[in-house]
Amino acid sequence: MKTDSGKFRLIAKTFHGLEEVLAQELENLGAEEIRILKRAVSFVGDKALMYKTNLHLRTATRVIKPIYKFTAADTDELYKGIQEIDWSEYLSLKDTISIDSTISSEDFKHSKFVTYRVKDAIVDQFYEKTGDRPSVRVVNPTLRVNVHIDKNTCTVSLDSSGESLHKRGYRVAETAAPLNEVMAAGMILMSEWDKKSNFIDPMCGSGTLLIEAALIAYNIPAGLYRKEFGFQKWADFDQDLWDDIYNEETEIDFDGKIIGCDISDKAMEIAEENIRNAGLRRKIKLTVMPFQQFIPPAEKGILITNPPYGERLKVKDLEGLYSMIGERLKHQFSGYDAWILSYGKECFDSIGLRPSRKVTLFNGSLECKFQKYTMFSGSKKDNYKSRKESER
């Protein structure tokens, strides 16, 4: 699905609530004709941009390339439509494929059956021409094919990313229910952190927010640690172009501090291991310490954290935890912006502070709130005046 200029449309997928942040990332990379969709952003670019988006995007889970669109009312018409594509342009008999189907249609209710029919259409085309078939492989295939059916419109795309882009490649260990890397990066970019001042996560767990903050602050590509991307197995892969993009020097200086602490020794060990694997040991400071004892640097900055939601704490403990968070913000973080991701109104009520901004995000299947607290310095009168101005 190319344009007259040789460029083509691509779609970057993301999580609910991160679409506008992703669109801004794409604009910064030089994408054209950007359109915000539901949990995705479409854009136009060339092969170089496709490579760049996979390497640099922090809030995308996948970048797919639509190659064909048709209408179908049943699986027989779906089969015929898939066979209208010349699959020899993308596959050889020695290659392997996997099919991913997303369905939003009354006529196609079972994504697994759609997947089987698409697979049959592709391998049957090869068998009719050569008497042999390419193999299907779910793990690490040569080509990942994405089929999206909306009512009767079928869009066939190639997945240029391979594994989800949240799998950065630096995580070697994790705590229970770790924050997704794409979500963490989205939270940081949404906060409009200036990337000059201090960044603090006082309940850092396995260190995901700290690592993503460091990658952003030093302008290190999000995909730098990955072993491979899907497009590297494509028939038209340009190794020289990819080498130029991958080896481009992008790192910048950062004079602020990135600081994390956690009450758990085990969490600190895991965070240290992930940070070391990302090559960021000298860029992030870690301390085993409860939030109640943490004193932030005199220089102002931003605090972003993802406290426990209650799965492993009693309700009484949970209320006490969030009450403590509110007290620490009020008494120790004057001049800071603080952002909290959590689940459940009672958690935020226990903080006891009025948020200046609320955003709905999904942490896995949980509908959470990401709330900003602007901790003004100065007298109560000055705080009231500043708060009113910030709410305008």
How far is 327 from 323, CA to CA, in rounded Å? 6
Q: Which top CATH class is 8-159?
A: alpha beta
How do beta strands 357-363 and 366-374 pair?
antiparallel
**pLDDT for position 138:** 87
pLDDT score recorded for residue 36: 98
Please name which of 298, 159, 288, 289 lies closest in space to residue 231, comparing C-alpha atoms. 159
CATH superfamily of 181-222+229-381: Vaccinia Virus protein VP39 (3.40.50.150)
Which pTM value belongs to this model?
A: 0.90
The domain segmentation of the chain, as residue ranges, is 8-159, 181-222+229-381
Render pLDDT for 237-278 as a digit per residue (tens, 0 to 9): 999 999 999 999 999 999 999 999 999 999 999 999 999 999
Per-residue pLDDT band at 318 (split at 50, 70, 90): confident
Contact 146, 61 (CB under 8 A): no
User: What is the reported pLDDT for 5?
Assistant: 66
CB 216 within 8 A of CB 192: no
Residue 263 CB neighbour total at 10 angstroms: 14
pLDDT tens by residue, 67-101: 999 999 999 999 999 999 999 999 999 999 999 99
Summarize pLDDT for 285-305 with one digit per residue, the tens.
Answer: 999 999 999 999 988 899 999
